[in-house]
Amino acid sequence: MSAPIVHHLSFGPLTAHAFNADRSQVAVCPNSNEVQIYSLTGSNWTLTSTLTEHDKIVTSIDWAPLSNRLVTCSQDRNAYVWSLGNDENGKQVWKPTLVLLRLNRAATFVRWSPKEDKFAVASGARIISICSFEADNDWWVAKHIRKPLRSTVLSLDWHPNNVLLAAGSADARARVFSAFIKGVDDKPAASVWGERLPFGTVCAEFAAPAGGWVHDVSFSPDGDSLAFVAHDSSVTIAHPSAPGAPPHAVHVIRSPTLPYVSLRFVSLTSFVAAGHDCQPVLFTGDVTSGWRLAKSLDSAAVAGGKAPPPPPPKPSGVGGPGRLNNEAFNRFKSADARGVSTATSVTGGGNGSGVAGQLGAIVGSGVGADGELHTTHQNTITSVRVYSGSADNASAISTSGVDGRLCIFTVPAPSSVGALTKGVASIRVA
């Protein structure tokens, strides 16, 4: 496994990132009201433009590869479409066009449709805005999907047919809606999600297994499956069968790690998830054999960390009255001071009594015995996107995180993914 490429673009968190079509430029938000655009010069990124139209923190960015337009949304309840144009001096600058979202809460997420003729904006107003361009008035207008959303919408993903839209929200539900707009979309072909699809139709609804809010959703490259991650540390993959019929299968993976907050399919049989555990993890499977956690893509985590520090010296003599020297207290003290439990070995396998020992590099090697993170990212990964290749055959992914780093990880070919890591019994698949 090749080492990841790391670019430290910010001293603060990166809330979102998006590359242009040829990966020569990247737009990031440094957890502020600005969007910074960097251009690749040699092996370094150089800041070339700063977009400052928003008043509050920019929450999401997407870059349309075909039309080369940026769309951004923010906590200021607005969205802008940015296009390159010439100023009065003939210099190329990014010019914003305001989108009429008609929201009374923050916009949280935005994504272009595959054909780039519309985009969707999620919000804290329990509304999804489907925005299309009206040439007669020269502006972007929004149609709203409201029901049955009961809380903030946190993520979106478009189906390859340009009509269906998946949404994950804080009401612990992942849903698939129809975003068909008459005059913009052609009638879509029948699929496992439905045939007649008027605007706002709820084609499917899936619940997080333990009631955690749904952080991210992703359609498979063929559009026939939906994966989502929730705050209950679960990963769910749903395979619908037909409209109104029970699904072929719903596979639930209970992860022993901290919750994932972002995921993306990298082939028909694999996807990558990342989040609070600070490392991207590859999942593989299909509808018949089920899905399983395969490996970490972070070579730093797989390699493990430094040798554990020597244990603190033991106090001489027996503690007097009022001293807490029992095993339970010492275990808590070790966990508080060094970030580890004396009851679980970080590197041990043995009989698989500890989760960290069972899953090796995926759990445990990320945090050393000294409490230091031995992963490329040093804080939560906020976004995972395909960097090289396509959604059905990606060879690399890009990630951004709260540590201000933008990283590129290599994705192994499906045939080279090794056997499942030891300890798979600790992951319950339903």
For residue 287, the domain's CATH number is: 2.130.10.10
What distance lies between CA 314 and its chain's CA centroid?
45
Q: Is residue 385 a part of any domain in this protein?
A: yes
Determine the Cα–Cα distance for residues 273 and 242; give it in Å rounded to an integer: 27
Q: Is residue 329 a part of any domain in this protein?
A: no
Determine the Cα–Cα distance for residues 251 and 88; give it in Å rounded to an integer: 57
Determine the Cα–Cα distance for residues 21 and 23; give it in Å rounded to an integer: 6
Determine the Cα–Cα distance for residues 368 and 300; give it in Å rounded to an integer: 12
Query: CA dihedral in degrees (270, 276, 277, 279; nearest 10)?
Result: 50
Segments forming the whole domain that contains residue 18: 5-305+381-416
Q: What is the pLDDT along the chain (430 residues), one digit of tens a residue?
A: 688 999 999 999 999 999 999 999 999 999 999 999 999 988 889 999 999 999 999 999 999 999 999 999 999 999 999 999 888 888 889 999 989 899 999 999 999 999 999 999 999 999 999 999 988 888 899 999 999 999 999 999 999 999 999 999 999 999 999 999 998 888 888 899 988 889 999 999 999 999 999 999 999 999 999 999 999 999 999 999 888 888 999 999 998 889 999 999 999 999 999 999 999 999 999 999 999 999 999 987 665 544 444 454 444 444 444 555 666 777 666 666 555 554 433 333 333 333 343 344 455 445 665 567 889 999 999 999 999 999 899 999 999 999 999 999 999 987 655 444 433 334 444 4
The per-residue DSSP string of 36-98 comes to EEEEEETTEEEEEEEE---SS-EEEEEE-TTT--EEEEETTS-EEEEEEEE-TTS-EEEEEEE
Q: Is residue 35 a part of any domain in this protein?
A: yes
Q: Is residue 341 a part of any domain in this protein?
A: no
Q: Is residue 404 a part of any domain in this protein?
A: yes
Partners of 173 in beta bridges:
169, 207
Read off the amino acid at residue 415.
S
Task: State the total domains in the chain.
Answer: 1
Q: Is residue 82 a part of any domain in this protein?
A: yes
Q: Is residue 350 a part of any domain in this protein?
A: no
The phi and psi torsions of 287 (rounded to 5 degrees) equal: -70, -30
The pLDDT of residue 189: 87
Q: Is residue 410 a part of any domain in this protein?
A: yes
The pLDDT of residue 336: 61
